[in-house]
């Protein structure tokens, strides 16, 4: 029941906020979020690495 990734922000800072909110409120992991919204995990991680954020699986957030 994915809704595609058309709604994902293009700006990395906005993307960070969007992804962390989804992880906090709806998903137990980055993989679950990506599967549901049909997003490319590598692309998300690459964009957020560009602003010095990495996924912390234990915290289930980009930090």
Q: What's the CA gap between 21 and 27, in Å, rounded?
A: 9
In this structure, the number of other CB atoms found within 10 A of the CB of residue 34 comes to 20
pLDDT, tens digit only, all 63 positions of the chain: 445 555 789 999 999 999 999 999 999 999 999 999 999 999 999 999 999 999 999 999 999
pTM of the entire predicted model: 0.88
Q: Residue 9 contacts by C-beta under 8 Å, 6 or more apart in sequence? A: 15, 17, 18
């Amino acid at each position: 029941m994915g809704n595609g990734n058309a709604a994902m922000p293009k700006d990395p800072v906005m993307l960070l906020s969007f992804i962390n909110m989804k992880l906090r409120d709806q998903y137990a992991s980055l993989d679950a979020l990506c599967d549901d919204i049909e997003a490319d995990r590598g692309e998300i991680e690459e964009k957020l690495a560009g602003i010095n954020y990495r996924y912390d699986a234990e915290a289930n957030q980009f930090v």
